[in-house]
Chain A
Amino acid sequence: MGLISNYNLRSMLVRKATAAMTAGGIAMVVAVFVMTLAIAQGFRATLVASGSPQNAIVLRKGATSETVSAVLRGDVPILESLPQIARDGDGRPLASPELVVIIALPRSTDNQPANVPVRGVGPRAFALRTNLKFVEGRPLTPGTREINVGRLATGRFKGLSLGSDVKFGSNTWKVVGIFTADDASFESEVWGDVDLMQPAFQRNGYQSMTVKLADPSMFDSFKAAVEGDPRLMLEPQREQDYYADQSRPVTTLISVFGTFVTLILSIGAMAGAMNTMYAAVAYRTREIGTLRALGFGRLRIVSAFLVESVALAAIGGAAGCILALPVHGLSTGTTNFSSFSEVAFKFRITPALLAGGLVFAMVMGAVGGLLPALRAARIPVARALREI
């Protein structure tokens, strides 16, 4: 609308300092919003990337995570014989019995002991996880004390670089390869041969079994077969569901915290926007009177001021998004309390998140600008014209 684009946008720029400070307040709120949700998104993305739609993880019945699960040695051949499991070129079942223990290694950021997950895997574990790629060295040789380390782990914990000797479980293990996995939780782990890990950690048996299904649709029959077998006290889950559940407590916590903080901050920012718009209306009372005298109706005046407020807020929102951007890809970590192991992940800003931040800013502008805009339209024309 001609009136809105020229009159309001230019009016906004007249009092630059005021406009800048109001936009600044909104920018801060949006920056906090984007950054805290980027943490939640990053954590969730890592855990979700860990799950493949074609894989299933088998745990003890009732176990809430691998760490409190148990799969007996005798269960393995029974599971491997099930027809729903895919087979490799040599006809061997794509299944990996696994065991996760935690070793304490100093964290590179604060030297405190961190709970590093060490995963004992079966020989076909690499075939199961298709997003796994080696960036340095090579896969471990089964039957040896060779270990592989995820790239995020080498960054976050000390002593895990290629060629290092790592001492745990009364043995020394050598790092022969570093892998990436699309930032999945596996990248925070150390992998070794599960059959050598068991005695090293005085364990007897495994915790879980990960299998690749011949086709994702076979999950239901696989589940029925496992649960129906009286010899097994196990229950399968889709790998994606498992990791989604694992990430939920932490993701929820961070999201709730972030939303709480942002909401409170936003009230302050809206109060600021309201202040600014009220002042603008007061300053321009005579102009408003003139416009009304010329015949511009109340609705047009209201919408004009509302648009001005929203536009200002949008600028603040954009600034806030730009302010938050540098954190994207920043590595950090926290402990996944379901597994008690530390998960390294990266801040993750998505276009949707940025859009959300912008919309949030505009909502703040609309709410803050509403009452002043209404006031602008309600001043009796004659009185408005008399204002100095």
Chain B
Amino acid sequence: MKYLALVLKSARRSKRRTALTIVSVALAVFLFATLRAVLDGFTAGAAASSSTRIITIRSTSLIFSMPTSHADAIRSVPGVRDLTWANWFGGIYKDQAHSFANFAIEPESYLRMYPEILLSADERSAFLADRTGCIIGESLARTNGWKVGDRVTLKVGIPTYGTRDYDFTIRGIYRSSSSAVDTQSMMFHWKYADERSLVKGQAGWFITRIASPDQEAQVAGAIDAKFANSPYETKTDTEKAFASSFISMFGNLNLLLGSIALAVVVATLFVAGNTMAMSVRERTTEIAVMRTLGFPGGTIFSLIAIEALLMSIVGGVVGVVLARIAINPRVLPSGGFIPEVSVDTQNIVVGLGLSAVIGAVSGLIPATLAARLKIVDALRRVA
């Protein structure tokens, strides 16, 4: 790579221009990686869903409940290995601004059905033993500075749960082994909510474990058939479908974030391409001289192209490093219902790839022009 020195010197020719180009590529890559990370954050849960868990809700919509007596009927369906249920509680902690997901679970079966929830044996038994106990996801605990033993009070959000505030004691702080379960939620005993509910014995959704994924359609159909034409008709679907429907509620995120990413790339191509073109224009005479000395057009092309690529990749590295540092749950405000966002290896690779593409594309035309420059024209421009 004897030409590397030449390329580097060229880039140092105008330190400012090189710096500005690196900055714009870095920002583009930073944004790109961030947008991808945001999209991943939203879709991670659905992507990691278990293929052997299916969810049963009221066919009317999620906001309606079903009697817990449905559980027996469901258990009798062939192919059902295990069952649990949960209710959306929607309790308010301090005020709307501090809101987070909180729901009532059938404790023993729920923890069994969701092995992703990681609790120490002590915390687990303490939680199961305490009717007013609760478990908090570690991210939520961090946000609010909670430890095991702290007391948490929730005001009733949904009128059906009565009027008195609910007091809880934190019995465990759980971690999650998969994106399928987030750590920004709070879970507590279903019985505690039920005993104060205006209508007793209601479940928000049932979670059923099936033996193998290919039985899904059959078991789901059988479950729904049990309650067809009853006042509590159900709709059963995979956990993935259930999670996906939540994501789609935000809007067409793919389209929105994708369009922005596209605009980012195009804008950067303009800037980077412009820079390379300007830099080449400045060097017209030198290039002509080199051609006179005998450098073939192909070499000239490579020199320019490599310079463009180099600047872009440096920018790309800066961009992904910045993204990695800045975009993670510790720095970004997440919490509540916004999923945690962080830049993972895949995003980094894509970001770097993008910078290489920008470098290649922006360098293409200037490099070609430089290679094809008519020596005579170039030398004439000196005087």
Q: Footprint of B on A, CB under 8 Å?
A: 17-18, 21-22, 24-25, 28-29, 31-32, 35-36, 39, 60, 62, 64, 67-70, 101-104, 107, 109-110, 112-116, 168-170, 201-202, 249, 261, 264-265, 267-269, 271-272, 274-276, 278-279, 282, 332-335, 337-338, 340, 342, 388
A276 touching B263 by the CB < 8 A rule? no
With A and B bound together, what is the CA distance between A50 and B277 in angstroms?
53
| Interface residue B176 (Cβ < 8 Å from any Cβ of A) | no
* Given known contacts A104-B59, A201-B64, A274-B20, A279 and B271 CB-to-CB distance under 8 angstroms: no
Given contact pairs A21-B271, A39-B256, a sample of 8 additional A-B residue pairs in the complex whose CB atoms are under 8 Å apart: A28-B266, A28-B267, A29-B267, A64-B157, A271-B27, A272-B270, A276-B278, A282-B282
* Given known contacts A102-B61, A274-B20, A267 and B27 CB-to-CB distance under 8 angstroms: yes
A269 touching B277 by the CB < 8 A rule? no
* Given known contacts A21-B273, A335-B249, A342-B249, A60 and B20 CB-to-CB distance under 8 angstroms: no
Question: In the complex, what residues of B have CB within 8 A of residue A278's CB?
Answer: 16-17
| Interface residue B159 (Cβ < 8 Å from any Cβ of A) | yes
| Interface residue B60 (Cβ < 8 Å from any Cβ of A) | yes
With A and B bound together, what is the CA distance between A332 and B254 in angstroms?
13
Question: In the complex, what residues of A have CB within 8 A of residue B28's CB?
Answer: 268
* Given known contacts A28-B270, A32-B260, A68 and B20 CB-to-CB distance under 8 angstroms: no
Question: In the complex, what residues of A have CB within 8 A of residue B273's CB?
Answer: 21
- Mind listing 5 A-B residue pairs with CB under 8 Å? A64-B96, A110-B252, A113-B245, A268-B271, A279-B278
With A and B bound together, what is the CA distance between A226 and B20 in angstroms?
63
B158 touching A268 by the CB < 8 A rule? no
- Min Cβ gap A185→B in Å is 15
Partner of B24, one of A69, A112, A268, A332: A268
Q: How large is the interface on B (under 10, 10 to 19, 20 to 34, 35 or more residues)?
A: 35 or more
* Given known contacts A28-B267, A102-B63, A334 and B250 CB-to-CB distance under 8 angstroms: yes
With A and B bound together, what is the CA distance between A249 and B62 in angstroms?
22
B31 touching A112 by the CB < 8 A rule? no
With A and B bound together, what is the CA distance between A243 and B249 in angstroms?
20
- Min Cβ gap A278→B in Å is 7
| Interface residue B52 (Cβ < 8 Å from any Cβ of A) | no
Partner of A268, one of B155, B244, B268, B282: B268
Partner of A18, one of B20, B64, B233, B274: B274
Question: In the complex, what residues of B have CB within 8 A of residue A169's CB?
Answer: 60
- Min Cβ gap A350→B in Å is 20
B90 touching A68 by the CB < 8 A rule? yes
B278 touching A275 by the CB < 8 A rule? yes
Kindly supply a per-residue 1/0 record for chain B positions 325-348, scoring 1 wherever the CB is within 8 Å of any chain A CB and 0 otherwise.
000000000000100000000000
Interface of chain B residues 197 through 232 with chain A (CB within 8 A): 231
Interface of chain B residues 330 through 383 with chain A (CB within 8 A): 337, 382-383
* Given known contacts A28-B266, A268-B267, A388-B382, A275 and B20 CB-to-CB distance under 8 angstroms: yes
Smallest CB-CB separation from A248: which chain B residue?
B96
Smallest CB-CB separation from B157: which chain A residue?
A68
Question: In the complex, what residues of B have CB within 8 A of residue A109's CB?
Answer: 252
Smallest CB-CB separation from B362: which chain A residue?
A21
B248 touching A107 by the CB < 8 A rule? yes
| Interface residue B47 (Cβ < 8 Å from any Cβ of A) | no
With A and B bound together, what is the CA distance between A162 and B64 in angstroms?
27
Question: In the complex, what residues of A have CB within 8 A of residue B23's CB?
Answer: 267-268, 271
* Given known contacts A268-B27, A272-B274, A275-B21, A103 and B263 CB-to-CB distance under 8 angstroms: no
